[in-house]
Amino acid sequence: MSADSPVPLCVDLDGTLFLTDSCLESLLQLLKKAPWLIVVLPFWLLRGLAAFKHQVARRVPADACDWPANPEVLAFVRTARDQGRKIVLATAADQRIAAAAQERLNLFDEILASDGATNLSGPAKAAALVQRFGAKKFDYVGSCATDLPVWQAAQAAGVAGNNDELVVRVRQSTPVERVFSRPRAGWRDWAQALRVHQWSKNLLLLIPAMSAHQWADPTRLWPVLVGLAAFSLCASSVYLLNDLLDLESDRHHPSKQHRPLASGRIPLAAGLAAVPPLLGAAAVMAGCLGWKFAALFGVYYVVTLAYSLRLKQVPLLDVLALAGLYGLRVLAGGFAAHVPVTDWLIMFSIFLFLSLAFAKRSTEIRANRAAENDQLGGRGYRSGDAELVSSMGVASGYLSVLVLAMYISHPSVTLLYSRPQVLWLACPVLLYWISRVWLLVHRGAMDDDPIWFALRDGQSGIVVLLLAVIGFAAGPR
């Protein structure tokens, strides 16, 4: 398949020119905008795929500006266009989507797309191209097995993707003259998409057992570890769903645009397919830990889902929701270990995690301001809000230290420690760490996730070690 061949070059859109699925992109955007429409989707589907795509496309502004393209296919098509070859977009996507692709790329001399009545896929696409150009009188570049009838009718084939088996099948009927690769999703991409490093946040479930000095009791520790696994799998399912719903805003973010789903390294369908098994496994684990834990697990999932769908777009309410999710983890750890969670621990957790949530948002606002954007995409904050958000975060962090100081001075501490006065040393250590976090936020040197920063930061590790030494020196009973 040479770029200067005299026959028309017909190219598919989804998975070929673009590393994404335009219909799924539009559907996710629609459900984020109007979740209640999920009820009517089956009725649209009963009218056929073409009608379904049309109903989705007409309700969502078609914008292909930020969809990730396959650079190899795009370069080949542009070369063919520059050499005077006729370029035809032949796609099963709706006409609105095809028009948006043309507006972005300005490559095509002709467009054949689904029109609400005919789903231009497989045999229908092959018939349309044969009718337009004749059998074996066009070249075709596609990416999936649905295109086999089209390749059979083509003079030469180009196959996009990393599917060797598909290439073999295409060669049975048509010469394959070009194979275009696409970014492969390795285990690192999946680990990033599942946010495996974020599982460390679920270590908060251990805090109630540790604060009650019950961490060495296996009858309390093992249920907590099961709960930790349940929260981790649940969190990963929500992270995937969140990334699927946030594709548009992530692609405008300086660092999030490189996420596996936003960049196209992991196909959207694969990411969506991974959500149910992750959530199902998490729910089974949660159900094994009793109804209280299961109920709190359900609340955690609902709040997390609400955050992904709406709460994160509401200034201030978003950070309160984030802090609340941290607090729910602590409560869940108490239910799993069957130890009471004190009011002191709840208050301390709320203020500390609220400070970290503010740090996360302040870092994003400052990065957005550095990119000369006034509005933080998908969050509702403006560049001028950075100082106010920072002041609220610093205040929240210092309040957590105040709660710790009040706890140390409470008579109940003597029931847990023989030398409770030693615990006062924890206050300046924690003050230092919180102050340093906010100093780095102010300097723009903070990672956009403070928890991930703390895991990699050497000084944070020293702070944790000092706190552990102080706790041991206080003489736990």
Q: Is 205 exposed, middle or buried (0-12, 13-18, 19+ CB in 10 A)?
A: buried
pLDDT at 65: 67
Q: Are residues 153 and 224 in the same domain?
A: no
pLDDT at 396: 95
- pLDDT tens digits along 233-256: 999 999 999 899 888 878 877 778
Q: Give the domain extent around 460.
A: 187-473
pLDDT at 412: 79
The answer to whether position 386 is within a domain reads yes
The answer to whether position 4 is within a domain reads no
Measured CA to CA, the distance from residue 292 to residue 227 in angstroms comes to: 12
**Final residue before a domain boundary, out of 162, 180, 198:** 180
The answer to whether position 239 is within a domain reads yes
Q: Are residues 193 and 176 in the same domain?
A: no
Q: Are residues 136 and 237 in the same domain?
A: no
Measured CA to CA, the distance from residue 83 to residue 464 in angstroms comes to: 64
Determine the angle formed by the axes of helices 49-59 and 22-33, rounding to 10 degrees: 50
Q: Are residues 54 and 158 in the same domain?
A: yes
CATH for 448: 1.10.357.140
The answer to whether position 253 is within a domain reads yes
In this prediction the pTM is 0.82
Q: Are residues 122 and 191 in the same domain?
A: no
Q: Are residues 235 and 156 in the same domain?
A: no
Q: Are residues 128 and 165 in the same domain?
A: yes
User: Which residue's structure tokens are 């490093």?
Assistant: 197
**Final residue before a domain boundary, out of 147, 180, 213:** 180
CATH for 162: 3.40.50.1000
The tally of domains found in the chain comes to 2
Q: Are residues 175 and 215 in the same domain?
A: no
Q: Are residues 119 and 218 in the same domain?
A: no
pLDDT at 4: 58
Q: Which residues of the chain have pLDDT under 50?
A: none
Q: Are residues 372 and 452 in the same domain?
A: yes
**Final residue before a domain boundary, out of 180, 198, 230:** 180
The answer to whether position 1 is within a domain reads no
The answer to whether position 2 is within a domain reads no
CA dihedral 46, 51, 53, 56 (to 10 degrees): -90
Element (H, E) at 443: helix 426-443
pLDDT at 212: 77
pLDDT at 64: 64
- pLDDT tens digits along 252-270: 777 788 889 988 899 999 9
Q: Are residues 83 and 150 in the same domain?
A: yes
Measured CA to CA, the distance from residue 4 to residue 9 in angstroms comes to: 10
Q: Are residues 130 and 211 in the same domain?
A: no
The answer to whether position 424 is within a domain reads yes
The answer to whether position 91 is within a domain reads yes
pLDDT at 377: 56
